[in-house]
A and B are shown apart, each in its own frame.
Chain A
Amino acid sequence: MISFLLNNEITHIDQTKADLTLLEYLRDQQKLTGTKEGCASGDCGACTVVLAEVVNHGKNTNDSLEYRAINSCVTFLSALHGKQLISVEHLSEQKKLHPVQQSLVEHHGSQCGFCTPGFIMSMFALYQSPTQPDREGVIQALSGNLCRCTGYRPIIDATLKVCENKITDKFQKVEPETIKQLKDINKQNISTSNLLVPTSREELASAKATYPDANVFAGSTDLALQVTQQLKTFEKLIALGAIPELNELTESEHGLLIGAALPLGKLESSLLKHFPQLSELLWRFAATPIRNQASLGGNVANASPIGDMPPALLALNAIIHIDDGQQKRTIPANEFFLDYRKTALKASQWIESIFIPYTSPNDFVRAYKVSKRYEDDISAVCAVFNAQIIDGKVQSINSGFGGVAAIPATVSALNTALLGKTWSSKESFEIGNEILKQAFSPLDDVRASKNYRVAMLCNLWKRFWLETNQSTQKIETRIVHIPSVTEEVPHA
């Protein structure tokens, strides 16, 4: 039985279609029509709702609620268990608008109003976060919400303003009660007859054995598209959100061990603490509401050639941890992707976690993405480089590329050809340039032409070389503000 707070009502669902989306549940079953359908594909944000969840940031700290905006159109109901689902109707008190609503009204931030409830929910989630955002933070928080009318300026102003002076709102006033209500929800026996929610690896193995055709999912941001866009019906689905091993994050001595089902939003801070160079890639990975659902494991298991994390995992020599309920094993990332949407994973297996080893001070990492739009777009080309330079000489060059082949791919020739070369010499740049010119035969498609993709491979290599050389690193190569990477570039 899936149990949650629907706004402030404890709600139980013991029968549901496995593939019912949260948006359908709200609009069709609950008649809560404030939440809108704009695209049913997680691209516009009109359907944004907020999930509040009890978190505890360590021993001797109090439980608190964490609020995350998600796209209800690509969410299945298992995501609700143990959480508070907040929809736009619940924000105001009697006729008194919530501060974020009031601020948007005062800044003339709604015109046609159709995107507005979604914006309100993203603003609301930001309002509940402990930090006071700057303009960049506001843009990040609202990056998954499209508005066609206003040009966004009043929405940015309204959000900045309301977050300047937060007051205790009705949610904070009842937070202890909400936490108690949520903690009282049973963490076992979540499954319904069609939507299975195993709570251990054994249960998962058994569910997979019983329903070998049932898809497993973590965030559902990709799987749900088959329902909403291709009109597929899934009789049975298996959710990975309640299995402890798949939802833990461990900062070990040698690297980060990331549970496969953990949403990217929850691993952002740890990942960026250890790999600050991934900030642009992570920041441009879809948009906040998608990152609040989508998992790293899903991004890997899908093996999409345009997924943005696999190139980083390739370049960082990540290890994929695999389980089938009986035997665990590991596969290096560069052996995991076999062919278009085909991986080394067997039908009975799943990804348990992904290990990313820390880099050393001699490792120079850059992750680049080129797309038509900065926020919420899919890579035309994604390139991640990881060069180990000692005493000015190349020790190794690991790389990962997206958007240029049928799978996320690495170019080992870079490593072979540049080994021992002086990194700062023009020759090093030229060698890599020639290799990358020939390395792939990308497609012409709606995102970019083949020629442009090849040119980008070379030019991103050039940018990497310019940025990691002392003589050229002063050259401005970026037009967008990327949180600064503090590292010393190698001396010649």
Chain B
Amino acid sequence: MRKLIEQPGFDSANQGAAGKSHKHESAARQVSGQARYVDDMPEAANLHHVAVGVSPVTSGTITAIDLSQVKSSPGVIDVITVDDIPGHKDIGPVFPGDPLLANTEVLYHSQPIFAVLASNVTLARQAVLKAKVDIADTQACLSVDQAKTQDNFVRPPHFMHSGDFEKSYQQSPIQIEGEMLIGGQEHMYLEGQVSMAIPEEEDRMLVYTSSQHPSEVQKLIAEVLDIKLHKVVVDMRRMGGGFGGKETQAAQWACIAAIFASRNKVAVKLRLPRMLDMMATGKRHPFENRFKVATDNQGLIQATHVEINGNCGHSPDLSDAIVDRAMFHADNGYFLADSYIEGHRCRTNQVSHTAYRGFGGPQGMIVAEAMMDAIARKLGKDPLAVRKLNLYGKDNRNTTQYGMQVEHNLLADLIDKLEVSCDYQLRRTQIAEFNKNSSVIKKGLSLTPVKFGISFTAKHLNQAGALLHIYTDGSMQINHGGTEMGQGLHTKIGQIVANEFGVPLSHVEVTATRTDKVPNTSPTAASSGTDLNGKAAQNACLAIKHRLAEFYAEQLQGDPKQVVFTEQNVVLGDAKIAFAELIQQAYMNRISLSATGFYKTPKIHYDRNTGKGRPFFYFAYGASCSEVSIDTLTGEYKVDRVDILHDVGKSLNPALDIGQIEGGFIQGMGWLTTEELLWDDTGKLTSNNPATYKIPAIGDTPEIFNVDLYPRANDEDSIYHSKAVGEPPFMLANSVWCALKDAISSITDYQIDPVLHPPATPEKVYNAIEQAQTWLEKQS
């Protein structure tokens, strides 16, 4: 069903290491249980374990803490509260607001208040239960509405204006309003949060942590221990999944482990049990968004107002950038014409919501798709026709709400190709026919696009470093600032290095991310891992290649620019030498075989005062078509078929890219369907374990699942003209949500656009079905 497109023609030596579907570098070790995660590392003889004591209430003031029984509990070595933190007590990543351990105020349910060190993990966890903490309840803010009424925000709002929305809206014949209550999402990385801290000489600290952002963990540990950053080394070989949930959320546990290690001079491990992990760490932000859209009589958008309200939880964390990204993606691929986008960062007494694949983009983009469906139903048109009509134009209607011109736009052609390859029009007719004859089961179909901006919107993060060593047998180690969480970043970096030198991939070892090898790194986030670190690694290669080329050309009195690295040889004109041989010679001649590489993304800028700029280096595109069946008796549904055409530029590794597309799609489908976060009236998360929070299982994968790569190189100068692929495919799942609505709408002969707030659980689908049936009864 699916094709792996091998794409020839790389810029550098064309040795095939890049562009091929190499296996994930750890695959053989993963399948045989040999791949080591933090919890699997050999344990020091004096390893002790931490458990964390958390607040049983959502909002309050701590009036008394009695930990005497905790301290006397069997196996307990040490207990800490906020007063025992030597340095900074706040670990907010960008803005303050995240206490390492609660001060006197409790800001969210399950907020850590104290921590226990014991000889084994069970004793530590059992000791926690013996604490007596008195907390005087205070009024909790539990909803976006409440926060807005109370003017309760973690950060100031942000606005984007383009043209005169009010005027155009009033002048347009078709006006539609809508509201969307969008659920958040639990990351549910299979490996929970874990850190292990090992005290070294004097005040030095070595920390192994499952984190997407080792440099930030290093900085925060140094700050809480009140030491300089150079005393702390953070080592990160691999995560068992991250998805944004280990960008800022890993630091707290690493810091607590480090404090215990520092105080007690013993190795310390902190691993959260699953339920606590789900209750005490941030999630994808729930959003409550509203739109007003006006079109002409054909459905072409004239004016758009989108109000975006992110439920940020108790602190800013990364919410500023997340709500911004929702605003940047409220257009998805459509020209919003005269538009006004406002973004609010609402403070509630929930855990601080955080990065999650798409980073606000999905919650913005789903509004655009809701608008398309609403316009289509209002005008009695096929939603796909409305979508195509409103795509950004090539020469006009091509500027976003934040003033960025959409160049190299692939969507129109990409959608056309997918529409044909998935037989959209034929199936549309067949499904209409099926629905006429099927009273209980209804089918739905939808084709939706994705346009996703690539770059950190915080400009300074768009930099990366790499460190390359070549050893005297010609084998090499590359280290870079990115982290491996399953996405295959290390595989791609290895391919780039192997490709540059014309050596087999097996000659290149990508080593654990370490803050003492490449400093001051950015988080592995925003889909940027390969774009940034790949270029940095390439630059490190180029530095050594230049040295080797000059050395070799000097021997032959040739032109170093003509030296080529290919098929394990170095070639200059008719002369050639084995790569390993040249390395030996270079070593004997005292040529440095180690180099750093650095990269920063060009062209990007954004002015928050005007809401204008070019925050993205380029856009990644894609489109998907989903067909679903719904059971109108129960609201249960099945995704029957999915077709995807996605743009990864010139693929560095088609198999890995397809893995990201398929995996992202299913994760996005989970967000929009069965993954429902529920809090009770007191603000406690009730969907707090995998028995009550349901991510897609294996039977949810559509039986027909066709994924193709759109064969076109990135027009921008990215690494080998590939494109980022981590986040964009997540939003391909929007077509599932739209297809569910399409199936429900069929009950009314496609006359109404049903209200279906994501996640569309069977119960919510059932409620929307009832709403459609009631509407129908009223008509007759």
For the complex, is A475 an interface residue (Cβ under 8 Å from B)? yes
With A148-B667, A151-B663 known to touch, is A372 a contact of B694 (CB < 8 Å)? yes
CB distance from B110 to the nearest CB of A (A): 15
- What is the bound-complex CA distance between A231 and B126, given in angstroms? 6
Of the listed residues A92, A446, A460, A463, the one surrounded by the most CB atoms of chain B closer than 10 A to its CB is A446
Please tell me which one of the listed residues B28, B189, B273, B701 contacts residue A105 in the complex, with CB atoms under 8 A apart.
Answer: B28
- What is the bound-complex CA distance between A116 and B683, given in angstroms? 35
Please tell me which one of the listed residues A92, A447, A459 contacts residue B32 in the complex, with CB atoms under 8 A apart.
Answer: A92
Q: Classify the interface of chain A: helix, strand, loop or mixed.
A: loop
CB pair B241 A114 closer than 8 Å:
yes
For the complex, is B439 an interface residue (Cβ under 8 Å from A)? yes
With A110-B27, A112-B238, A446-B678 known to touch, is A117 a contact of B33 (CB < 8 Å)? yes
For the complex, is B226 an interface residue (Cβ under 8 Å from A)? no
CB distance from B261 to the nearest CB of A (A): 20
Please tell me which one of the listed residues A34, A108, A148, A449 contacts residue B659 in the complex, with CB atoms under 8 A apart.
Answer: A108
CB pair B698 A152 closer than 8 Å:
yes
- What is the bound-complex CA distance between A32 and B30, given in angstroms? 14
With A112-B239, A231-B122 known to touch, is A479 a contact of B487 (CB < 8 Å)? no
CB pair B691 A36 closer than 8 Å:
no
- What is the bound-complex CA distance between A149 and B665, given in angstroms? 10
Which residues of A, 464-489, contact B by the 8 Å Cβ criterion? 466, 475-480
Which stretch, A41-49, A271-279, A426-434, touches the partner chain B? Answer: A41-49
A side interface size, CB within 8 A: 84
Residues of A near B192 (CB, < 8 A) are 38
Chain A, residue nearest B693 (CB): A446
Chain B, residue nearest A121 (CB): B33
CB pair A88 B631 closer than 8 Å:
no
Which stretch, B295-303, B466-474, B548-556, B761-769, touches the partner chain A? Answer: B761-769
- What is the bound-complex CA distance between A378 and B689, given in angstroms? 13
Of the listed residues B275, B663, B698, the one surrounded by the most CB atoms of chain A closer than 10 A to its CB is B698
CB pair B243 A148 closer than 8 Å:
yes
Residues of A near B78 (CB, < 8 A) are none
Write out, one digit per residue, whether chain B residues 221-243 have a CB within 8 A of any chain A CB (1) or not (0). 00000000000000000111111
Please tell me which one of the listed residues B39, B689, B703, B766 contacts residue A41 in the complex, with CB atoms under 8 A apart.
Answer: B689
CB pair B701 A447 closer than 8 Å:
no
Residues of B near A447 (CB, < 8 A) are 692
CB pair A111 B663 closer than 8 Å:
yes
For the complex, is A363 an interface residue (Cβ under 8 Å from B)? no
CB pair B697 A113 closer than 8 Å:
no
CB pair A105 B31 closer than 8 Å:
yes
Residues of A near B37 (CB, < 8 A) are 36, 114
For the complex, is A97 an interface residue (Cβ under 8 Å from B)? yes
Of the listed residues B32, B441, B695, B705, the one surrounded by the most CB atoms of chain A closer than 10 A to its CB is B32
CB distance from B123 to the nearest CB of A (A): 10
Please tell me which one of the listed residues B33, B440, B678 contacts residue A477 in the complex, with CB atoms under 8 A apart.
Answer: B440
CB pair B762 A370 closer than 8 Å:
yes
CB pair A38 B31 closer than 8 Å:
no
Chain B, residue nearest A104 (CB): B31
Write out, one digit per residue, whether chain A residues 114-139 have a CB within 8 A of any chain B CB (1) or not (0). 11110010000000000000010011
Please tell me which one of the listed residues A44, A151, A476 contacts residue B441 in the complex, with CB atoms under 8 A apart.
Answer: A476
For the complex, is B507 an interface residue (Cβ under 8 Å from A)? no
- What is the bound-complex CA distance between A46 and B143, given in angstroms? 35
Which stretch, A61-69, A153-161, A308-316, A323-331, touches the partner chain B? Answer: A153-161
CB pair B631 A477 closer than 8 Å:
yes
CB pair B32 A33 closer than 8 Å:
no
For the complex, is A25 an interface residue (Cβ under 8 Å from B)? no
- What is the bound-complex CA distance between A453 and B547, given in angstroms? 73
Residues of B near A44 (CB, < 8 A) are 190, 690
CB pair B697 A148 closer than 8 Å:
no
For the complex, is A54 an interface residue (Cβ under 8 Å from B)? no
CB distance from B33 to the nearest CB of A (A): 2
For the complex, is A52 an interface residue (Cβ under 8 Å from B)? no
Residues of A near B171 (CB, < 8 A) are none
CB distance from B735 to the nearest CB of A (A): 15
CB distance from B666 to the nearest CB of A (A): 3
CB distance from B73 to the nearest CB of A (A): 12
Chain B, residue nearest A107 (CB): B655
Chain A, residue nearest B188 (CB): A148
Residues of A near B577 (CB, < 8 A) are none
CB distance from A285 to the nearest CB of B (A): 14
For the complex, is B34 an interface residue (Cβ under 8 Å from A)? yes
CB pair B240 A112 closer than 8 Å:
yes
CB pair A446 B692 closer than 8 Å:
yes
CB pair B189 A148 closer than 8 Å:
yes
A/B interface sample: 12 pairs, CB < 8 A: A32-B33, A33-B39, A33-B40, A35-B33, A104-B31, A105-B31, A115-B240, A120-B32, A151-B664, A151-B701, A231-B129, A452-B766
3 closest A-B pairs by beta carbon, nearest first, are A34-B33, A112-B486, A114-B240
Interface residues, chain A, with chain B CB atoms under 8 Å away = 32-41, 43-44, 46, 87-89, 91-92, 97, 101-102, 104-106, 108, 110-117, 120, 135, 138-139, 142-143, 145-156, 229, 231, 233, 287, 370-378, 380, 445-449, 452, 455-456, 459-460, 462-463, 466, 475-480
Task: Please give 16 more A-B residue pairs, beta carbons under 8 A apart, in addition to A43-B690, A377-B694, A455-B770.
Answer: A32-B33, A36-B39, A39-B274, A88-B32, A108-B23, A111-B488, A112-B241, A112-B242, A114-B240, A120-B32, A151-B663, A152-B701, A447-B692, A455-B766, A476-B441, A480-B636
